Amino acid sequence: MIARDRRYGKSSVRTRVGIATAVLVGGAVAAAAVVASHGAAPAATSAAYASRYGGNNEGSTISSALNSWSWSRQSSYSDLAKLTQARQYSQTTHQGKTLDVQRGIVVLATKKFLILKSANGSLHLWLLSGNTKFQNVSSTTAGTQALTANTSATQQAMTAGNMIPATTLLAGSPTTAATMLTPTTTPQTVTVRVANTSLTVTVTVTRGTATVNQTAATSWTSMPTWRPSTFTQDAWWPMKGLARGDLALVVGTRSHWTLHAQLVLFTPLSSADVGGSGSGSGSTGTTTGSTGSGSTGTTTGTTGTTPVSVPTTW
């Protein structure tokens, strides 16, 4: 499979543009089911949620993948490909550590954190550090197998360049991915409160600019401390190559009520990969999510004419 092109400005080149809308959280998430139809008010149904914990085997597999990355990436890929039960977000413990893994699509990447949305609508905030490892796996079969944990999706991506199966597995649908790769002039705002901390983050994206307001610093080594700040960035600004709209697998640990990314595998997407625009005529919808640890978040903005549906159980 040819690595996805990230260049801008030429009509013959696959472009990546979009407006970020997401809910980011620090624990297990349940999203609301949202169905938006053109010309009618959206109907929302609250979702049930529960923290999902993997077994001992999952913990040892994640630990092995992280430990072997520096000397054998093939071993890491093999371990991560075995995590077939971790289709979305999963948390387990191993030797006194809380280990976490999530597959999904990138909603926003910054210097300090990234937001990942899984196929079931769950969204998580992952802190980044200088030691976080990033790897584009779009040109390697073993890496794509680790990313998707699905042989058929891997074969379609690598032999036919067909990203629809992988996109459906990680993002939920090509339509969901298309909305992250398609521009809209309507501002979209996300507000997140991380439970048991002083951290609240609000992200507003207008056209290509993301404005981030946060009430506390996102420290890697300690609890978030009160320190209000505001910054802006390109909504598709790449962090070590990772950007909004990429399919990704994030593996790491949880401490101080926050998730810490240690390894990020990703494959870039373009609008051509997912069948075009998902912007439609702009019916509005609202999604509300909550986490098992008590964090809450809301997302407001526009969706396309195609109904958006988030599973009510997972």
Query: What does residue 203 show for φ and ψ, rounded to 5 degrees?
Result: -120, 125
Residue 188: per-residue pLDDT: 73
Q: Is the pLDDT of residue 88 over 70?
A: yes
Q: CB-based contacts of 196: which residues, under 8 Å, 6+ apart?
A: 257, 293, 294
Q: Residue 71 region, left (φ>0) first, then alpha (ψ -120 to 50), else beta?
A: alpha
Q: Which of 250, 230, 260, 182 is nearest to 21 (CA)?
A: 182
51, 54, 194, 251, 298 from 295: Cα distances, Å: 13, 21, 5, 21, 11
Do the Cβ atoms of 139 and 241 come closer than 8 Å? no
Residue 275: per-residue pLDDT: 80
DSSP state of 75: H
Mean pLDDT of 116-131: 90
Residue 31: per-residue pLDDT: 31
Domain extent listing, the chain = 46-183+242-302
Q: Which of 193, 194, 145, 181 is nearest to 165 (CA)?
A: 145
Write down the pTM of the prediction. Answer: 0.74
